[in-house]
Amino acid sequence: MARSTSKDAQALFQSLRSAYTATPTTLKIIDLYVIYAVFTALIQVAYMAIVGSFPFNSFLSGVLSCIGTAVLAVCLRIQVNKENKEFKDLAPERAFADFVLCNLVLHLVIINFLG
């Protein structure tokens, strides 16, 4: 049973990897960016757990800026992905402009909230 599960898992990862290598480079860059942002958020949470959350607004703005960045990048990825039929008539330039605007608002708010 255990062997079959591990075999399955191996096959799964293999197919996942093969599927992922097919994605365009631009999307891969976005993925890296998302992973980086999430990783930074995790570091901050870990720091909070060890040191404490005293300037709570700083902690909150730090974590939420990372999560927000990640979420917005995921949105951008969804929009520029050619396989997504829903966003066929949305030009990638437009998607990127929206992304920049949203990021601008997000970080203005965060600078304001940072204290």
Binding stretches for other proteins (CB under 8 A): 5, 8-9, 11-12, 15-16, 19-20, 56-57, 60-61, 64, 67-68, 71-72, 74-76, 78-79, 83-84, 86-87, 90, 95, 98-99, 101-102, 105-106, 109-110, 112-113
> Cβ contacts of residue 60 below 8 Å, gap of 6+?
113
Shortest spacing between CB 11 and other proteins, in angstroms: 7
Closest separation in Å from C-beta 79 to other proteins: 7
44 or 79: CB nearest other proteins = 79
DSSP letters spanning 68-91: HHHHHHHHHHHHH-TT-GGGTTS-
Two structure tokens written together for 51: 């040191």
Closest to other proteins by CB, 40 or 64 = 64
For the CB of residue 51, give the shortest distance to other proteins in the complex, in Å.
18
> At a CB cut-off of 8 Å and minimum separation 6, what does 67 contact?
37, 38, 41
The least distance separating other proteins from the CB of residue 35, rounded to whole angstroms, comes to 13
Q: Residue 52: left if φ>0, alpha if ψ -120 to 50, beta else—which one?
A: left
